[in-house]
Structure 1
Amino acid sequence: MRNKKKTLSTVLTTLTISAMVVAGCSSNSGNENGGNVKPNNTNKGTGTEASATPKEIGYPEKVSYWVGLNSNAGATMKDYNGIAAYKELEKITGTKVEFQHPPTGQEKDQFNLMIASGKMPDVIEYTWSAAPKGADSLIKEKRIIRLNELIEEHAPYLTKVLNDNPEFRKMITTDEGNIYVMPFLLGDPMLSVFYGPVLRGDWLENLNLEVPKTISEWETVLTAFRDQDPNKNGEKDEIPYLFDIAALDTGQLFLGAWGIMSEFYQVDGKVNYGPIQPEFKEFLETMARWYKEGLIDKEYPTTIDGKLRDAKVTGNRLGSLSTYPGSGIGRYTDLMKGEIPEVSFIGAPYPTLDGGDNAIGFYAHPFRTIGAAISTSAKNPEEIVKWLDYKYSQEGHMLFNFGIEGESYEMVDGYPKYTDLIMNNPDGLPITQAMAQNFIASWSGPMVQDKRYLEQYLQLDTQKEAQQTWAQADHTKLMPPVTLTADESSKVSSIMNDVKTYRDEMINRFIMGEEPIENFDKFVDTINKMNVDEAIAAQQAALDRYKNR
């Protein structure tokens, strides 16, 4: 595994992408998406292209395009045609886009209905790992088309990105050798880290405490938060830590100290399921003790509601949680600094058990199955590929990461610096909404995101420092972006839907003391009887295929 880690690190650190979430890394609220990089392709269009008309180049006259509506865009517009970058793209290519946005919260259901009906638009942008069947099956069933040859012939900019970065090509290619999307790509390892443990820095300072690095140090800090009135209101109303199962799955906080994960993970090429490992019992014992001792929010199962969580944070009661740089560190700082000028939120390392090897932490792979596929309903796939490829060109890259030069950014000493239209919006829009009016860098799309976007999106030093701290976690045990066959996908979904429901229920019961930890073996037996071994075997087969791509 050490060699594999070194290989991936070498690939990523030697990328020609230089200049990313989720994603949500500004001091304002935003989508936490992760991943922004300068494209590998720095070639400008040829002189012929520059002087040719859209018709001569071969761009489509119109395209129907299905994609979820980003919340920051939806706050000020009805569809993506309101984005300045897309308006400019229409001027450049002559292509009119009919955007089809499913109702917010219904994206998955609407996608499944669309695929089942066979009545599809030209382009479908989606997180394809959420599709009920794998991409290979969707190609065989003539729902979407294989793009390999079309990309090779009609997408010179994306082709260069893939040629310069073989790891990208491996990730976007299925086990059967199909490329099925024009992908959304992250290119720098730092851009893949945008979630982790956060503590109230001013509380630590009030109590003369250091940022904790181990489980025992965390317990010391949380105990002090409970007992020593860090919010200085004279009341014992502090909540040391907010546990959250969703945060556990996302960031593996605390659990990663035991060297396992809450879902599937791999060690030296062998797939494991974390909750049935002996270490999971030790983790639950610790969390149960912390809950009993008042170190974990007693109401945590109900605090998954964002408004309740926000109220506890902004009410100056919550000492620590797992969150993002943008909608966590940045947004809470903005919301609280008026009443508490000294407020600060500090990103802490993913804690270890004994200060030894780094614990497992959050990491987003450069390709997370987000991308634009072309449906079999499209009558002009070659033209559509050429149109989508524009975003991977230098001009398209700048347009969709920074907007229009002279309006949303200016070049300053070779650096695309956002103007006050973005950073100090005259209409009072938060940065994320101002960005969404001009370009799509703050979420995703068929493009390569630019690191320079992130450098300006992260306005606070605490945000930047948190990301650097979280990047030190161990990422070697995470599963790569494997693909399941249709049969495997159906089987794994059926098994794991039931397993996860049971797992979540029992995690809460164990932690809250409703189920004695002595019953952990019964918990494992029940999961085994749910045929989790078959799901593990399917993941193992997918991992083996991925390694052989």
Structure 2
Amino acid sequence: MNYGKKGLITMLAAMTALTVSLSACSGGNQAEEPTNSPAAGTGNVEEPKDGKIVSSPLTLTYYVQGLGSAAPGIKTQNDIAAYQETEKKTGIHIEFQSPTTGQEKNQFNLLMSSGSYPDVIEWGWNDYPGGGVGAMNSGVIVPLNDYIDKYAPNLSKLLADHPEIKKEVSTDDGRIYAFPFLRADPYLRTYFGLGIRKDWLDKLGLQIPTTIDEWHTVLKALKEGDPNGNGKADEIPLLIKKDTMLNFSNVFLNAWGITSQFYLKDGKVAYGTTQPEFKEFLETMRNWYAEGLIDRDYAATDDKQKDAKWTGGLLAASELAVGGGIGKYMTAMSEKDPDFNLVGAPYPTLKKGDKPVLGQITPIFNSVGAAITSSNKHIEETVKWLDFKYGEEGSMLFNFGIEGKSYEMKDGFPTYTDEIMKNPDGMAFATALGQYAIPFGGPFVQDKRYQEQNVSLPQQKEALSTWMDVENGDWLPTLSLTNDESARLAAIMTDVTTYRDEMFDRFVMGVEPIDNFDTFVKTIEGMGIQEAIDIQQAAYERYLKR
């Protein structure tokens, strides 16, 4: 966010209305004294005279995931203009190290077991056993509280002004293990939901469905009504991706007031898959599948096949991201089919008029952050360098890039240029912007004004408004687990999740009778799900006392 006087005040006011409704994550709560103090490992620091952090060149090593689909010429983060400008401002050069694409977790685990670490590791720390606390307790990374207080005025002010944010980035014992990537504004925390072809609904005289019964009526009409007009019964009414439905967006299942994971039921932790409502959900999906309303190949459809079904005029509805779904397909089909109109549909309910519950929402802090390792010999300089991104100048750089190139100020609003919004080389918004800024993730505060331009189409703006109109109070917040809790929970849930996912397909495809649901529940109970619930409950109670 922009931390100018007005921007800061606006952000602070908005944050007072936040509802903390987050998915559960791993962490830890074992209290230990920090192994490093602000006086240790800082090197010999002379006060620079030019505003830089260092008076002589300094290189820090920094481990972070690769850039993915970057623009030509962008090979590492050092090719991004925001990092180049940061080096000029601070005098600190960063040597970036990244794992091989597709091998991220394996290579991260190898790095953790090596005992030799780069100066900074930017990662989703829930991947570490015991989370950020586990990494601190094992001596991989250092607690940052004292360093932040002494050397990070921008982040210090943010946390002091926003105790609700500090609660999320702290462990149960009050330690902070990383400079966090923050989605502080509610507008940034929802970006996923159901999408449907509005032009096909209009052609068949149908309204956007809001209940499970309405969805059944609409899907049947889309299957039988030949909305693509080719005279063939080739339309696919609905494509569901199991991993998305069960592990991320909660579409359709939310109508029964549950998730397939851990959530809060009457203020206590429950596991949705073993609830009676999950049986009703499975029965509905089974009936839809038997009627041909769900893509017969849903379990084997990958992202490229999904793209082909959308752009091939075959698919009527699926779960979608606002940018990589609605925006992508609207742009791809603008010339091929000018009538193509893809809109967001509400998270469904069972009863007409009820407010949807348990939609997609991401945490303010989801464990992704830049941690300083125990190998770092320049902690003071590193903290100051990281804190630069939380100030106004750094925030503008990493959210918007370079003024006059990637954005221009118009009436006080940082407006992306045509090079970003209408790239002459045909680059997508994210790819074009990635040459200058990296607002998609990193140790800083994501700015709402980035997302407002990322979702520039009316269909995207309306979808976000629709998907955000959900009561999300029963999602678990981000929790911290002890090392033992984390290890035991992982052991239990690996088996439970594998079994659940396998049985989902068997139930939906009709291989397993719905009458066997009670046996399914007993099997999960035998795997130790009550112990897992107890672990989450204990962590939740600790969270409430933070």
Could you state the TM-score of these two structures normalised by the residue count of structure 2?
0.90
Match of 2:167 among 152, 161, 170: 170
Q: Report the alpha carbon displacement of residue 182 of structure 1 after superposing the two structures with TM.
A: 0.4
Cα RMSD over matched residues? 2.0
Cα deviation code 1:122-149 (max 9, x no counterpart): 0000011122232222212110000000
Secondary structure, in 3 states, of the residue corresponding to 1:229?
coil
Taking the TM superposition and a 5 Å limit, the aligned residue runs for 1:493-504 are 493-504=490-501
Which residue does the alignment assign to 1:246?
243
Give the 5 Å matches for 1:416-435. 416-435=414-433
Q: Deviations over 1:391-423 (max 9, x none)?
A: 001111111111111111111111111112212
Q: Deviations over 1:449-496 (max 9, x none)?
A: 111111111121000100000001121111101111111111111111
The whole-number CA distance in structure 2 between the counterparts of 1:532 and 1:17 is 34
**C-alpha separation in 2, matches of 1:167 and 1:58:** 37
Instruction: Give unpaired runs (5+ residues) of structure 1.
Output: 1-9, 19-49
Q: Which residue of 2 aligns with 1:375?
A: 373
| Inter-CA distance 256–294: structure 2 relative to 1 (3 Å threshold) | same
Match of 1:546 in 2: 543
Supply the distance in 1 between the matched residues of 2:72 and 2:326 (Cα, whole angstroms): 22
* Match among 226, 230, 236 for residue 229 of structure 1: 226
Q: Distance in 1 between matches of 2:407 and 2:161?
A: 28
Aligned twin of 1:14: 14
Whichever residue aligns with residue 374 of structure 1, its letter is I
Q: Which residue of 1 aligns with 2:393?
A: 395
Structure-2 residue corresponding to 1:357: 355
What is aligned with 1:98?
A: 95
Greater mean deviation of Cα atoms: 109-118 or 342-351: 109-118
- Superimposed CA distance per residue, residues 333-388 of structure 1 (whole angstroms, 9 cap, x where no aligned partner): 12222221110111000000012232321011111111100000000111100110
Q: Which amino acid aligns with 1:434?
A: A
2: CA distance between counterparts of 1:60 and 1:180? 27
Matching residue within 409, 415, 430 for 1:411: 409
Asked if 1:214 is matched to 2:211, the reply is: yes
Distance 1:203 1:118 in 2: 58
Q: For the Cα contact (< 8 Å) 1:68–1:101, is it kept in 2?
A: yes
Q: Which residue of 2 aligns with 1:38?
A: none
Q: Does structure 1 residue 122 correspond to structure 2 residue 104?
A: no
What one-letter code is carried by the residue in structure 2 that aligns with 1:252?
Answer: N
The whole-number CA distance in structure 1 between the counterparts of 2:80 and 2:399 is 12
Establish whether residue 321 from structure 1 lines up as the match of residue 318 from structure 2.
Answer: yes
Q: What SS is found at the alignment partner of 1:185?
A: coil
- Partners of 1:116 and 1:56 lie apart in 2 by 32
Q: 1:228-280, CA deviations, whole angstroms, 9 ceiling, x for partnerless residues?
A: 11111111111110122112121111110100101111124311111100000
* Cα separation, 1, equivalents of 2:48 and 2:371: 29
Determine the C-alpha separation between the residues in 2 that align with 1:500 and 1:324: 24
Aligned match for 1:490, one of 487, 490, 499: 487
TM-score with structure 1 setting the length? 0.89
Aligned-pair distance for 1:176? 1.9
The residue identity in structure 2 corresponding to 1:297 is: D
Counterpart residue number, 1:437: 435
Alignment match of 1:537 (pick from 528, 534, 537): 534
Query: Are 2:11 and 2:185, in contact at CA under 8 Å, matched by a contact in 1?
Result: no
Q: CA deviation at 1:498?
A: 0.8
Q: Is the 8 A contact 1:162 1:168 kept in 2?
A: yes
Is the contact between residue 196 and residue 348 of structure 1 (CA under 8 Å) also seen in structure 2?
Answer: yes
* Residue 302 (structure 1) aligns with: 300
Counterpart residue identity of residue 289, structure 1: N
Q: Distance in 2 between matches of 1:505 and 1:496?
A: 14
* CA apart distance, 1:59: 9.0
The residue number in structure 1 matching 2:81 is: 84
Do 1:13 and 1:189's aligned partners in 2 also have CA atoms closer than 8 Å? Answer: no
* Number of residue pairs matched by the alignment: 508
CA contact (8 A) 2:197 2:341 kept: yes
DSSP-derived class of the 2:60 partner: strand
Percent of aligned pairs with the same residue? Answer: 50
Q: Residues 321, 446 of structure 1: CA spacing in aligned structure 2 closer, same or farther, 3 A cutoff?
A: same
Q: Is the 8 A contact 2:254 2:359 kept in 1?
A: yes
Change (3 A) 1:501 1:401: same
Amino acid at match of 2:438: I
- Structure 1 pair 56/180, CA: closer, same or farther in 2 (3 Å)? closer
Structure 2 residue runs of 5 or longer lacking an equivalent are 1-9, 19-46
Report SS of the residue matched to 1:213.
coil
Pick one of 269, 272, 295 that aligns with 1:271: 269
Secondary structure of the structure 2 residue equivalent to 1:271: strand
The 3-state SS of whatever aligns with 2:96 is: strand
1:455 aligned partner: 452
| Aligned counterparts of 1:422 and 1:55: Cα–Cα separation in 2 | 30
Partners of 2:380 and 2:17 lie apart in 1 by 27
Give the corresponding residue for 1:338.
Answer: 335
Shift of 1:200: 0.6
1:153: which partner in 2? 150
Distance 1:277 1:405, change over 3 A: same
| 1:425 to partner: Cα distance | 2.5
